[in-house]
Structure 1
Amino acid sequence: MSTVTIKDVQVILTQPAGSRLVIVKLITSEPGLYGLGCATFTQRFNAVHTAIERHLKPFLIGRDVDRIEEIYQMSCVHSYWRNGPVLNNAISGVDQALWDIKGKRAGMPVYQLLGGKCREAAACYAHAGGSTKEEIVDSIRGFMEQGYQYIRVQQGGYGGKESKQPRPEGAQPGAYFDPRGYVRAHLEVFEHVRDELGFEVELLHDIHERLVPINAVQFAKDMERFKLFFLEDPLAPEDIDWFHNIRSQCATPIAMGELFNHPREWQPLIEGRLIDFIRMHVSQMGGITPAKHVAAFAKMYGIRTAWHGPGDTSPVGHAANMHLDLWAPNFGVQEWCRFNELCYEIFPGLPEVHDGYMYPNDQPGLGIDINEELAAKYPCQDTIEEWTQTRLPDGSPTRP
């Protein structure tokens, strides 16, 4: 088999829904052969675009597409400074595209190249919510009727409803929330949900790093009686030493990782058995190659996967998640954002979910493509994020 090399690296930016998506298209020296990968960092998409076009592209042209591991390893250190979100996402777009190409050359889905299926489909969880306890129960019931067995429950946005507490004179604009009110409200919500629906449905909840560590410890302990499938991101990456405190206080299963960039963020949590699910954003950590390594590492410690799967993971990224899900012996559950019909038109082959399970289409590679002409009709819009300008009731900035 003759050597196939990278001929060109293209970046496709599109915003068919709320999130600005970054897709990498690797063109090869073999006519008609290309691969797609997700490099989406929606809040800094221009920075990722520049990193690919001005830095990775010149480095990659002419390289052998079969040398995925080598390209990943050298891409990480070629800039010397490493393990940041912009560069990791850029590298991910290339890495996923190389796996897509390898699958197409082999005539196999990527999950076959990883080692084959451990299951026929990936169990997904959907997001239920509402402004009242009654609305939330109705939302959960709706997903249960669609076949979902795993359902994340939130009242309002992250951190609950917007804080209505008095603010100081001259308080600056921002996304205000009340941590204590959030805790009280969600304990009431989960008590109501369990009273109404029992314990047959698996419930999840995302703190989204909104609480100071000691309050996160108390909340995890208080939530133990509701038997969650997992409690997500109870702490910020800067506070991971506090996981020892959570573990010593309760048996609430913990999922963590969507903000992680650096191996030293997840390694101690896995080695210490301080979490139960790894939940990294696959493009944020660098692509399929590092995700495969981490999943195998976590398996040795009895820790399952639950890759981040929001709307700012592109359809290509969700396809990559699915291939990892089908392969990993320690798969747990997959977050699913339920893309609109336009996304299915722009990304033919986007995985479909039926009765709460995501199924592959068994096409070679990642099994997904992009309609570039249609994608171009929905250009990315430059906006200033508001939800990440988070404030406490007195106006103090806090983590989003």
Structure 2
Amino acid sequence: MKIVDARVVVTCPGRNFVTLKIVTDEGLTGVGDATLNGREQAVAAYLTEHVVPVLIGRDATRIEDTWQYLYKGAYWRRGPVTMAAIAAVDTALWDIKGKQAGLPVHQMLGGRSREGVTVYGHANGEDVDGVLAAVARHLDEGFRAVRVQSGIPGLEGVYGVSSAAIYEPASAAVPTESVWSTEAYLDHIPTVFARVREEFGPGVKLLHDAHHRLTPIEAARLGKALEPYALTWVEDPVPAELQEGFRLIRQHTTTPIAVGEVFNTIFDCAQLIREQLIDYVRATVVHAGGITHLRRIFDLAALHHVRSGSHGATDLSPVCMAAALQLDIAIPNFGLQEYMPHSAETDAVFPHTYRYEDGYLHPGDAPGLGVDIDEELAARYPYTPAALPVNRLQDGTLHSW
């Protein structure tokens, strides 16, 4: 079965997405997500200029060989642009493979290991009362796990806090800037979780995202302060480039750690996994080289008591979510799946069979991934430049956003 066409579709039904659609000589098609938030056109160009020309005429059934060809054959390996492009191809080929077999992809990954995929939602508020109301809404919607983010007194534009129904931080062609105070943050966040636990008790899983903004000792202080509230995890406590820093965090707190939404390959997290310095790895299908490579990451994690906790914000299209669910439901060491519902416009452009019900996502049993792109509808939403914000300390020093 040969690849006869591969189209790159960039569309913006509320936010930008990059999708690769592969067509075979047997009439089967497959889709893959190639979205890189704020850098979408870079991946689109990589696909159009460097990947699509070498796909035409290749055997669509040779998924592993194609992955290795695109990874090793480029010579310049790794990086978010390259790996997102490889992920799009890999995911689309798995979609085709499933359709060829007449099976959902998870059946080709070993079948279901669970009945549904436990997801967590985002509860945020400008103040504690707003946070409590948001948590209550999520619990009413059936969520069993909730990420809690709060405004910080004296700061504006805090990450993860928005009055919009769908939070999308990439909102301007030129990055907006916000001001940050670690001291104010560390003082305030434990008081937020004290109120949440007091209000909702011990049953609900609570999570929090520090978004790379702390040093290891600051992260250790936060983790220790949050221990009485039994969080399921603190996400991205520090930038992960210096992975030795996670040892220091481990020495001071038993609060579980999740990291990895910006990881691109197994080499980004191998040390963290082997040394058991993290509890959840948050790498994604689109950013970590597709289903083929993310499965390798999760298999390594399974050997070291590390569970999955994949990123699932709205910068990942329904194509990526559909692929993630196929993997989530099959692997033995699944932990949680982030889930932010897309807009009605996005869902219309990407019709899919997965569904949310009572705190779980279900991938469905359609052959392949169970998702597609309506190219005619997608064409009605042209690309709109949108960049992620940047962060500065109160003295003007650039800081991790």
TM-score, structure 1 normalization: 0.93
The answer on whether the counterparts of 1:175 and 1:391 sit within 8 Å (CA) in structure 2 is yes
1:30 to 23, 26, 33: 26
Using a 3 Å threshold, how does the CA distance of structure 1 residues 137 and 273 change in structure 2: closer, same or farther?
A: same
Compare 99-108 and 216-225 and name the one that shifted more: 216-225
Residues 160, 36 of structure 1: CA spacing in aligned structure 2 closer, same or farther, 3 A cutoff? Answer: farther
Q: CA deviation at 1:127?
A: 0.1
Aligned AA (2:253): C
- Alpha-carbon separation, structure 2, partners of 1:259 and 1:115: 27
2:205 aligned partner? 202
Paired-residue identity, %: 40
User: Which of 222, 229, 234 in structure 1 is aligned with 2:232?
Assistant: 229
1-structure distance, mates of 2:318, 2:388: 24
Q: Which of these residues, 138, 142, 146, is aligned with residue 133 of structure 2?
A: 138
1:149 is displaced (CA, Å) by 0.7
Q: State whether residues 230 and 255 of structure 2, in contact with CA within 8 Å, keep that contact through their aligned partners in structure 1.
A: yes
Where do 5+ consecutive residues of structure 1 fail to align?
164-171
How much does 1:386 deviate?
A: 5.1
| 1:5 to 2:6 alignment | no
SS in 1 for 2:32: strand
Asked if structure 1 preserves the Cα contact closer than 8 Å seen for 2:176 and 2:388, the reply is: no
Partner of 1:174: 177
Determine if contact 2:262/2:283 at 8 Å carries over to the other structure.
yes
Q: Give 1:369 deviation, angstroms.
A: 1.2
C-alpha distance in 2 between matches for 1:253 and 1:173: 32
Distance across 1 between alignment mates of 2:144 and 2:30: 34
Query: 2:12 is aligned with what amino acid?
Result: Q
Is contact 2:353–2:366 with CA below 8 Å preserved after alignment? no
SS of aligned partner of 1:285: coil
The CA distance in 1 between the partners of 2:395 and 2:216, in whole Å, is: 19
Kept in 1, the 8 Å contact 2:284–2:294? The answer is: no
- Partner SS for 1:366: coil
Report if aligned partners of 1:12, 1:23 keep a CA contact under 8 Å in 2: yes
Q: SS at 2:108's partner residue?
A: helix
> Does the aligned pair in 1 maintain the 2:280–2:335 contact within 8 Å?
yes
Instruction: Report if the CA contact (8 A) 1:237-1:259 is conserved.
Output: no
What secondary structure does 2:383 align onto? coil
Match of residue 101 from structure 1:
96
* Helix, strand or coil at the partner of 2:243: helix
Aligned to 1:46: 41
Aligned equivalent of 1:169? none
Secondary structure (helix, strand or coil) at the match of 1:280 reads coil
Q: Would the alpha carbon gap of residues 375 and 197 (structure 1) be closer, same or farther in structure 2, given more than 3 Å must change?
A: same
Query: In the aligned structure 2, how far is the partner of 1:311 from the partner of 1:338?
Result: 7
Q: Secondary structure of the residue that 1:283 maps to in structure 2?
A: coil
- Secondary structure at 1:296's aligned position in 2? helix
Structure with a larger share of its residues in helix: 1
- Cross-structure match for 1:399: 400
Q: 1:132 to 1:206 in 2, by over 3 A?
A: same
* Residue type of the alignment partner of 1:212: T
- Match status 1:15 vs 2:12: yes
In structure 1, what is the equivalent of residue 170 of structure 2? none
Aligned ranges 1:220-259 → 2 under 5 Å: 220-259=223-262
Is the contact made by 2:156 and 2:178 (CA closer than 8 Å) also made in structure 1? Answer: no
The alignment partner of 1:153 has SS state of: strand
Q: Distance in 1 between matches of 2:26 and 2:304?
A: 42
Helix, strand or coil at the partner of 2:206: strand
- Distance in 2 between the 1:94 and 1:173 partners? 33
Q: Is the 8 A contact 1:349 1:361 kept in 2?
A: no
What's 2:69 paired with?
Answer: 74
In structure 2, list runs of 5 or more residues that go unmatched: 159-174
1-side partners of 2:156 and 2:357: how far apart?
Answer: 31
Shift of 1:262: 3.6
The answer as to whether partners of 2:155 and 2:179 remain within 8 angstroms in 1 is: no
Q: Once the two structures are superposed, what CA deviation does each residue of 1:52-95 show, in whole Å capped at 9, x if it has no partner?
A: 01101122111111110111111111110111110100111000
Moved over 3 A (4+): 159-163
- Specify the alignment match of 1:377 in structure 2: 380
**Structure 1 residues 391 and 81: alpha-carbon distance in aligned structure 2, compared to 1, 3 A threshold:** same
Which of the residues 266, 269, 272 maps onto 2:272?
269
Aligned to 1:324, the other structure's residue is in SS state helix
Residue 162 of structure 1, CA deviation: 4.0
Q: Indicate if the aligned counterparts of 1:154 and 1:160 stay in contact, CA closer than 8 A.
A: no
Distance in 2 separating the partners of 1:50 and 1:14: 14
Partner-residue secondary structure (3-state), 1:255: strand
